[in-house]
């Protein structure tokens, strides 16, 4: 693989910091658009050879903002879309706990048996996201790859790339508009930056 730049999309009109928006196609808020511009400025001089993004607007608009400083095609990948929360879409955790207490308990316990009513279960989510890894294998070690997505898929990718058990997937904090960097080698991968938001200050 290569050097990977992992970016979570910016803030959304629907309050992505408080509510669970999975595959609902919410737009970036005014704050989110400014965050995307900050990411663009942060990465303006960074070598980037390929850019992949979720096809949901909040990620793809963030990706296109960054790409505007580079001669880059933006490749959209449904594998990078956020988990389908089903009936949990748009709820806060307190609302989930009230309406679907078993789901909330499974979520809190970090159980891999997690399943969202009328949405994806963890196995289906993981299988979808992990298919993206085959795209990375096509790149040479010298290349720098930018991935703009959502907290869930990025956490899954980190586990796979770092060789961690999937039960650790929710132990990565990835804030809105954050940048993380993973350097990959034949012997394994190293996280050189995690959840950096210094460009937002």
The pLDDT of residue 65: 97
Q: pLDDT value at position 26?
A: 94
Across the strands, what pairs with 115? Answer: 121
Q: What is the mean pLDDT of each run of 10 residues along the chain (201 residues)?
A: 92 82 94 98 97 97 97 96 96 95 92 95 97 94 96 97 95 97 93 98 84
Classify residue 186 by burial, with Cβ atoms within 10 Å: 0-12, 13-18, 19+: exposed
In 3D space, the residue among 16, 4, 1 whose CA is nearest the CA of residue 150 turns out to be 16
The tokens 């990411």 sit on which residue? Answer: 39
**Domain definitions of the chain by residue range:** 3-196
Q: Which residues participate in catalysis according to the annotation? A: 9, 82
Q: Rounded to an integer, what distance in angstroms lies between the CA atom of residue 55 and that of residue 30?
A: 20
Tell the burial category of 120 from Cβ atoms under 10 Å away from its Cβ (0-12, 13-18, 19+): buried
Provide the CATH topology of domain 3-196.
Answer: Rossmann fold (3.40.50)
Q: Which two tokens stand for residue 55?
A: 């096809």
Given a contact cutoff of 8 angstroms between Cβ atoms, the answer to whether 71 and 22 are in contact is: no
What's the rounded Cα separation, in Å, for the pair 140 and 2? 6
User: What 8-state DSSP symbol labels residue 117?
Assistant: T
**Residue 18, pLDDT score:** 81
CA distances from 175 to 18, 32, 59, 123, 152 (A): 12, 12, 13, 24, 11
Residue with tokens 């303006």: 44
- Quote the pTM value: 0.95
Determine the pLDDT at residue 37.
Answer: 98
CA distance 6 to 65: 15
How much is the pLDDT for 1?
Answer: 62
Is 152 in contact with 122 (CB distance < 8 Å)?
A: no
């Amino acid at each position: 693989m290569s050097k990977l730049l992992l970016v979570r999309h910016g803030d959304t009109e629907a309050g992505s910091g408080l509510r669970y928006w999975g595959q609902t196609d919410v737009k970036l808020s005014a704050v989110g658009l400014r965050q995307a511009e900050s990411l663009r400025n942060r990465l303006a001089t960074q070598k980037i050879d390929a850019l992949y993004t979720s096809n949901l607007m909040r990620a793809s608009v963030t990706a296109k903002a960054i790409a505007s400083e580079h001669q880059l095609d933006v490749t959209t990948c449904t594998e990078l879309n956020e988990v389908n929360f089903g009936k949990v879409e748009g709820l806060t955790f307190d609302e989930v706990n009230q309406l679907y207490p078993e789901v909330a308990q499974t979520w809190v316990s970090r159980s891999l048996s997690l399943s969202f009513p009328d949405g994806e279960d963890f196995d289906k989510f993981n299988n979808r996201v992990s298919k993206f890894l085959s795209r990375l294998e096509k790149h040479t070690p010298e290349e720098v790859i930018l991935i703009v997505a959502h907290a869930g898929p990025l956490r899954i990718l980190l586990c796979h790339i770092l060789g961690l058990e999937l039960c650790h997937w929710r132990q990565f904090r990835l804030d809105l508009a954050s940048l993380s960097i993973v350097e990959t080698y034949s012997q394994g991968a190293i996280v050189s930056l995690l959840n950096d938001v210094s460009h937002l200050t």
